[in-house]
Structures are given as structure tokens and as C-alpha cells.
Structure 1
Amino acid sequence: MAQEIIKILMTDDHPMIIEGYQNTLLATKKESQKLIIDIATNCDESLELINKSISLGEHYTVCFFDISMPPSSDGEFKSGEDLALYVRKKTRRTKIVMLTMFDESYRIHSIINNIDPEGFLIKSDITSRELASAFQAVLHNPPFYSGTVNQIIKRTRFSNLEVDEVNHHILYLISKSMKNKDIAKELNLSLSSIEKKKKLLKEIFKVEEGDEKTLIEKAKGYGFLNN
């Protein structure tokens, strides 16, 4: 039987974590699989490897990206999320797995909407068995989301409330006590647009005008924000 050659890029700024993931995948791979694993501990190293693989026509099969990464030296890439978006623009052949310590509902929905990763793992969910299962699922039956990610997605979907990404972002910023003018600046929207969107959100969540405290409480209750 011919071996299935799987090229992997792991990007995480904690070498011990990469070593653990690497050892797990090598120990649990199928006999028919040959893994070639490259590692990067910052955005610059990751970009160099990504661009080299593309120029050689040897695209990675799977890229693992930790979301929280030191920015690239030119400041263009500020996170693993930026690296994942770059890979998505360059090729759809590479499967993407996002890794994070954070379980903020808004960030998780944003990454799913913008990147649509084949895998999404919260680090606190990961065991050796979970990582091994995720890897095989990403290769042959994506997507694979870890337990916490699935719970967050289910809560908002079961609410049957339609909240688009921009409005979800506004909810998140309101929960951080940002003023309208600062939200407008953050999202590059006019102040009147922010006011209209906040009014719409209050209609969606059936909250009286001006009652932002109840709006945030209801958004948390429906899973759009963390408690």
C-alpha cells in the first residue's frame, strides 16, 4: 500500500506545546501515513515556510495556527488568525486548524465566519486522544470542533436570533463598556450607523431603548457573549 504523505506546519510560540503536539501526531498516525512536520514559533518563520511551500508547489496538507502570536517584523501579520487568512487566500488545498486558549464567543464566531477552519480546538479541551481524533477528522471528514467550540455554536444557533458578524462585534464592544464614538472608530463606521445598529440589536433581543445592561445580559443568556 502506497504511503499517504502528509505535510504539516505547526505555528505556536511555545516550543514545548509544539513538541507535545508533534509527538502525539507521530505516535498516533496510521501505518499508511507518513508525516512531514515543519515548526514555526513566530509569524515571520511561519510566513517563510508557507511562501516556500507555495513557490515549490508543495502545499501543506494541514496548518496548525495558535491564534495568539507575536506580530511579524513588518507588523502586517499580528496573529495566527492573520496567517490563516493568508493561507486561505493563497490556496484552498490546505486544511487549517485553529488553536487558542480563549473561549470568547465573539472571537470564535468571527474566526469560523472569516476562516471557516477545518479544525478549531480550545487548548484546555485538548488531550492526546482529542488531538489524534481531530487530526484524522480534519484530513478525512472535516470540520472538527472541540467540545467548548461546539457548545458555543449550539447555544447561539438554538436561540434562532439573527445577529450578523458586525452586530456581534458591536455587542462584544458594548460588553467591554466602549462608548459609541470609540465603537465607531474601532469598526470604521459612522456614529449614526452604530446608533442604528444598537437600536436594531435592542429590537432583536426585545430590550427597551437605552437599556444596555439588559441587552448584554440577554446576549450572554443566548450565548452571544461569555458570562
Structure 2
Amino acid sequence: MPHILIIDDHPITIRGYKLILENQKIALSNEVQGATNCDQVIEIMNVPEELFFDVVLLDISLPASKDKQVTSGEDLGFLIRKKYPKTKIIVHTGLNYVQRISNIFNTLKPEGFLIKSDISANVLKIAVNKVLQNGTYYSEKIKDLLYPEDFEKIYIDSSNRKILYHLSQGYRMKDLPEHIQLSMPTIERRKKRIKALLGVPNGNTKDLLEVARKKGFI
């Protein structure tokens, strides 16, 4: 039986997924673990690769870590990918903006990708089984978002997301170098690039944060 970690900030979702996995005989109860925030997962990651999970069900909208260095499930997934390359990642998210989905896909290259509204007991069963068999599974809405004819490629990396996160928390631009390992000129250039990518090249910080929040980047 595989070891599975379910990451979601809603305990009821974790319980629901765990029950499905047990009822579908995909995993035993004691082989499924849950975590509701980034700090919990970072603590769980203090084990060697052979003791980590076979599959991680990863939510994207998670509370940031206490040190503010991991600001989302996307950052968390990147850490898991780096430390545990054999672990399969299935993203499950309520986000449905093409730019945000594209960004997650390009950052993590997940073996599975589900929009939460697509998830049923059968979909979860198929997704986990396919991934365990070294396949991939993308839900219908994910495929619609990733492959439209007018698909707009966009990539906002971890450092750019940290800039958005700290600005959204009320930090001033001049204070960001104290919290992000980048120089002030680099942060200013990155902010200008983010504004262009999100379609507000001439907007102020408030305009930028409104669009970033709407698209699920913060």
C-alpha cells in the first residue's frame, strides 16, 4: 500500500479524501497522513527520501510559513520536488485562472492536476492509481485551461511571488530587501516585469495586488 500525504488547509477535505482512499482500497488508514499548513509539511520533511511519501496531494492556497519563506503550496511543492524527486505530486486546487494554472504547471510539472470542483470519489481513485502506475492525470477543466488556442504563457517564479506576498502584507518596497534575498534594483525590475505580465504595466501597487489576488497569485 502506498504512503500518501494530503495537504489542505481544510481538515474536512483531508478527512474526505482519506475516507475515499480507504473505501476505494487505494491506501490503508495508517498509511495516509494530513497536513493543514506549510510549517507542518516542512516539519514532516525532516526525513530521508526512503521514508517520505509516495504521493502528495497538494493544495496551493495555504497559509505562509512562519518565516514567510514559503508563501504557498506552489513553493512547498517546489521544495518537495527538490528534496524528494521520486515522490509523485497531485495538485488539487480551487484556482481556475489560466495564468495561475499555467504557472503552477510550469513550476511543478505535477503528475496529477485537479480542479476541486471536478473531484469525485471516482476521479480521485483514477488520478491516484494512474500516478502510482507512473502515468499522469489532468481533470477536464485543467485540460481546458492548459490547452486553449489563445493560451497565454506566463511564469512568475518563487522570488516574484514573495514580492507579491510581502506587498500584500503591507510591507513597503524599501523594506523588501530585508525579507527577500534580492537587491532593491532587482526587486524594482521584477515588480515592473510582474506588472507587465499581469496586464497592469502602468498601474500602482494597489492595482497590481488587486489583479494578483484575483488571479490567485496571493
On whether the aligned pair clears a TM of 0.5, the verdict is yes
1:125/1:194 CA distance change after superposition, 3 Å:
closer
Q: Which amino acid aligns with 2:155?
A: E
Alignment pair present for 1:96 and 2:89: yes
Asked if residue 51 in structure 1 is aligned to residue 41 in structure 2, the reply is no
- Distance in structure 2 (CA, Å) of the matches to 1:70 and 1:129: 29
Deviation at 1:189, TM superposition (A): 3.9
1:34 shift after superposition: 4.9
Larger radius of gyration: 1
Point out 4+ residue stretches in structure 1 off by more than 2 angstroms.
Answer: 161-166, 184-191
Instruction: Give 2:82's aligned amino acid.
Output: K
Alpha-carbon contact 2:74-2:107 (below 8 Å) kept: no
Q: What is the aligned partner in structure 1 of residue 155 from structure 2? A: 165
Structure 1: gaps spanning 5 or more residues? 170-181, 202-224
State, as a whole percentage, how many aligned pairs show the same letter.
Answer: 35
Which residue does 1:22 correspond to in 2? 18
1:129 corresponds, among 122, 133, 138, to 122
| Cα shift at 1:91 | 2.2
* Distance in 2 separating the partners of 1:194 and 1:123: 27
C-alpha contact (below 8 Å) 1:11/1:39 kept by paired residues:
yes
2:103 match: 110
1:116 CA drift (Å): 0.0
- For these two proteins, the number of residue pairs brought into alignment is 174
Does residue 63 of structure 1 match 2:53?
Answer: no
Please give the per-residue CA displacement for 1:118-173, whole angstroms capped at 9, x wherever unaligned. 11111011111111111101111422111110011221xx45x784636xx9xxxx
Note if contact 2:99-2:154 (Cα within 8 Å) is conserved in structure 1: no
Q: Specify the SS of the correspondent of 1:188.
A: helix
Alignment of 1:206-225 (within 5 A): none
Asked if 1:41 corresponds to 2:36, the answer is yes
Does the 8 Å CA contact 2:99/2:153 hold for their aligned counterparts?
A: no
Equivalent position of 1:13 in the other structure: 9
TM-score by length of 1: 0.66
* CA-CA distance at 1:50 after TM superposition: 2.0
Closer, same or farther: CA 72–162 of 1 in aligned 2, 3 Å: closer
Aligned 8 A contact 2:62 2:72 in 1: yes
Q: Distance in 2 between matches of 1:118 and 1:50?
A: 20
Match of 2:189 in 1: 188
Q: Secondary structure of the residue that 1:44 maps to in structure 2? A: helix
CA distance in 2, matches of 1:186, 1:120: 31
Q: 2:113 is matched with which residue: 114, 120, 133?
A: 120
Give structure 2 stretches of 5+ with no counterpart. 161-172, 174-184, 200-214
| 1:51 to partner: Cα distance | 2.0
CA RMSD of aligned residues (A): 3.2
Contact 2:102 2:153 in 1 (8 A): no
CA 1:58 to 1:154, structure 2 compared with 1: closer, same or farther past 3 Å? same
